[in-house]
Amino acid sequence: MSAARPTIRRKLRNYRRRAARRWHFHRSSRGGFVEWNRDYRRTLLLVSSARSGSTWLSDILEESLRCRMIFEPLRRDKVPLAQNVPWGMYSDPSQPDPELDAVLRRMLSGRVRNRWSDKFNRYRLTRRRLVKEVRATNLLPRIVENFPDMPIVYLLRHPIPTAWSAAKLHWLPYLKEFFRQPQLMEGPMAPMQGAIDDTMADKDLFQRHVLRWCLENYIPVNHLATGSVHVVFYEDIVQDPDKELDRLRAYLGRFPGHLWTMPPQRPAAVDLPSRANYRETPLLPVEQRLGSWRDEVPEDRIRFALDLVTRFGLDRIYDLDVRPRVGVDDVLLGP
């Protein structure tokens, strides 16, 4: 018995050390949390362009699913894990890229703790997570290929109000991060070079944000197959949130082994501004939320923006109407 006691003590000491690491109190305003599962299939990935309503939708999903919220972990100036991942990064899913895959695996398995990415997390004990990201649209083909059986929501919003909102906040479009990627610009974006050059000749910030929206959505729309991700229109959520939550509940029902259930009651976050409401605007009526840009954006800029969207072939989804032209099942054109 005396020989066994040191082994027992050592095992108990190691267990306590592991438990202490799990209970590591993260230095964020939300305090510490424990995550009991590192299976990437326990992640719900929400991807969109910036200013598309993704934080509002993530607020709704976090409340509904009571999961850990990982906010934009690919912001490389805030999260060391993503320091080598540029905005809008594209990687051919048929080609090996072990360094990028390692970053994605850590992100999707929840192995990232950071003051920035954890700032909106409200739950201390979780078995699943929501990753919300606005820089990963061009990575969706690779993520779908390499991380099967993981629920993915792809959110779209009309490019004009999306770009107008970003321009009013004086946000930079970070277009150079796209242009410095030979695999992107000499690959899927090569046919779009003329449209890109014409837009870059204009110094207008709004037009450049429209260009970024095109650069972010051209690849997922044309390279993802219908059913590979769950497509959601921001306009549909605003118009009928209960219907869209029912659709999302049905989609997550395909993953019963991973505890993806949503309560039938309406989340309070549906009727609240998002936590990324940087301009502190009130929650407007539906028609104003969807169509106020028609009165705010000058007509010449609207025409320029729609011409650019047309040159990318994305006008079949959005045109001068405030609502999308197609249904969610007709968005994706990939094989």
DSSP 197-245: HHHHT---HHHHHHHHHHHHHHHHHHHSPTTSSEEEEHHHHHH-HHHHH
Give which of 37, 39, 8, 43 is closest to 22, Cα–Cα.
37
Q: Are 69 and 129 in contact (CB under 8 A)?
A: yes
Q: How many CA atoms lie within 13 A of 228 on its CB side?
A: 21
pTM comes to 0.89
Q: Are 79 and 111 in contact (CB under 8 A)?
A: no
Strand partners, 44: 130
Query: Does residue 167 sit in helix, strand or coil?
Result: helix
- Extents of the domains making up the chain: 35-257+285-330
Q: Give the end-to-end CA distance of the chain in Å, rounded to a whole number.
A: 66
Angle between helices 299-311 and 205-223 (to 10 degrees): 30
For residue range 12-44, list pLDDT tens digits in order.
666 555 554 444 434 443 447 777 788 999 999
Q: Which two tokens stand for residue 302?
A: 């609207």
- Given a cut of 70, the residues of the chain with pLDDT beneath it are 1-6, 9-31, 257-258, 279
Q: Rounded distance, CA 18 to CA 7, Å?
A: 16
Q: Rounded distance, CA 98 to CA 126, Å?
A: 29
Strand partners, 230: 153
Q: Are 126 and 36 in contact (CB under 8 A)?
A: yes
The pLDDT value given to residue 36: 78
Q: What angle do CA 239, 243, 244 make, to 5 degrees?
A: 80
> Which helix (H) or strand (E) segment is 133 a member of?
strand 129-133
Q: Rounded distance, CA 133 to CA 126, Å?
A: 20
CATH number, domain 35-257+285-330, options 3.40.309.10, 3.40.50.1370, 3.40.50.300, 2.10.10.90: 3.40.50.300
For residue range 245-299, list pLDDT tens digits in order.
999 999 999 887 667 888 888 999 999 888 877 767 777 889 989 999 999 999 9
